[in-house]
Chain A
Amino acid sequence: MGWWMLKGQANPMETLVQDMLQGSRRALARLLTHIENGQADEALKALHPHTGKAWVIGVTGAPGTGKSSLVNTLTKGLRAQDKTVAIIAVDPTSPFSGGAILGDRIRMRELSGDSGVFIRSMATRGSLGGLSRATRDAVRAMDSAGFDYVIVETVGAGQSEVDIVRTADTTLVVEAPGLGDDVQAIKAGILEIADILVVNKADRVGASQTVRALRAMLELGHPSAKEHLVAHHGQMMTVSNHTPPAQGAFWNVPVVQTVAIDNKGIDELITAIQSHRTFLAESGTTIARKTRFIELELRERLQEALIQRLTQVVPAETFKDIIEAVQTKQIDPQSAVVKLLEITYNQP
């Protein structure tokens, strides 16, 4: 029971959800704030049946590759096809103050005044689990508000950001010439999550080398060949392929070149996104993919909930005592964890 019942008014969260479903942008904005603050469980329950219609595009890549400009141009391209687009642009929270400067709108000013576009900036805030939960729930809200596409843009710097875009229907990994050699690309491990690789700023020196390096990298991961012939010091060498064979159909990750600020390559990019969508549908992998993502999400939420429960039921004093016991070598860290779990489970 809430205060609204005493005043004989409608449940404010219910009203918000109804307004949002009827197209109120103010209600959507409000709801996104509640989601970010972790206070929208009731609303999300009501929204869930309305989700699943939007196509979610994740965009990630190193800082400076032009992600925001690409999102801007991609959105214009989708608008030209009369599709509505909602954008979530994630920028980092300062670990020192907890504040953030969210500046992605600067690159998206051409989208202003268009009622078919909705842009929301989000700060990463504190916890990793919190961000991916908030982002996924924000996507659900935008999806149920009726947008055809939801684009999620994050800096691909950390695992949490990678995890977020990874649960998109189509994931774009953006690279740019001159931002490190091909070893950087293997190191970060973000090539593996790409459904489409975009080489932005393709008018710059070194673009063709970047494209070649990425293609070579993709060939190494292709399951069609158990072994590859690689030219090395004038000799052909055999390299075995350790990538586990994909089940069923295999999507060939395309490398698309764009110059976002000049609107170049965007039609090709949209075509690639549509081909990926068609591939997922025709190969029957859409459902399998979604199931995998739901499992991933549930595990994450469960982790977060369990830790929350632990902090609720284990008295701070007890926790402190256990830390001290580890420090004074009375017990080892793993035994401490077992002990904490015992306390957690023995609570009603």
Chain B
Amino acid sequence: MRAPRVLIAKPGLDGHDRGAKVIARALRDAGMEVIYTGLRQTPEMIAEAALQEDVDVVGLSILSGAHMTLIPRIREVMNANELSDVPIIVGGIIPDEDRESLRALGVVGVFGPGTSTEDIKVFIHGLVDAKGAS
């Protein structure tokens, strides 16, 4: 079985990337290939990296509260780049009341503070397996 390829990106302007790095490392230790793009990524940069790296899933870390602005834009740019089949997951500070709206935008997983890295790992493996089966 091949290693899942995951893009971990931090869109927007907050400069707090510790969470993203912890996740990147946990996923590496779970046997995944993690493409880490660093801070302050624009939606265009994220879509471009996802396309060139042919990732199975895009993981976004957002702590600034701008998720309802950034995520629709990222989804839109990804769809415009033939990436509508690539799922998005989000980690960070996401209020409960936004979860439903995010799901409607095609965000398949939302992971708030306190999520165990094990849960995220299992979730991603599930996504990749489902994709492989279809």
| CB proximity to A under 8 Å, residues B31-50 | 31-38, 44-45, 48-49
Q: Which chain A residues lie closer than 8 Å to B31 at the CB level?
A: 97-99
Q: Bits for A240-277, please: 1 = Cβ < 8 Å to B, else 0.
A: 00000000000000000000000000000000000000
Specify the main secondary structure of chain A where it touches its partner.
mixed
Least CB distance from B84 to A in Å reads: 11
Flag if B35 contacts A112 (CB, 8 Å).
no
A-B contact number at CB 8 A: 79
- With A109-B38, A123-B3 already in contact, the answer to whether A97 and B30 are too (CB < 8 A) is yes
| CB proximity to A under 8 Å, residues B1-27 | 2-3, 5, 24-25, 27
Flag if A123 contacts B45 (CB, 8 Å).
no
Measured CB to CB, the residues of A under 8 A from B are 25-26, 29-30, 32-33, 37, 93-94, 96-103, 105-106, 109, 112-113, 118-121, 123, 125
Flag if B3 contacts A98 (CB, 8 Å).
yes
Interface extent on B, as a size class?
Answer: 20 to 34
Residue in A closest to B21 when the chains form the complex, CB atoms: A101
Q: Does B81 contact A (CB under 8 A)?
A: yes
Residue in B closest to A31 when the chains form the complex, CB atoms: B54
Measured CB to CB, the residues of B under 8 A from A are 2-3, 5, 24-25, 27-38, 44-45, 48-49, 51-54, 81-83
Flag if B28 contacts A112 (CB, 8 Å).
no
- With A102-B34, A106-B38, A112-B44 already in contact, the answer to whether A97 and B28 are too (CB < 8 A) is yes
Top 4 closest pairs, chain A to chain B, by CB = A99-B28, A106-B38, A29-B54, A98-B31
CA distance A103 to B81 in the complex (A): 23
- With A26-B82, A29-B51, A123-B3 already in contact, the answer to whether A100 and B29 are too (CB < 8 A) is no
Flag if A113 contacts B45 (CB, 8 Å).
yes
Residue in B closest to A108 when the chains form the complex, CB atoms: B37
Known contacts A103-B35, A112-B44, A112-B49; 16 additional CB pairs below 8 A are A25-B51, A26-B81, A30-B54, A32-B54, A33-B5, A93-B33, A97-B30, A99-B31, A101-B28, A102-B36, A105-B38, A106-B37, A119-B52, A120-B53, A121-B35, A123-B3
Flag if A102 contacts B33 (CB, 8 Å).
yes
Residue in A closest to B81 when the chains form the complex, CB atoms: A26
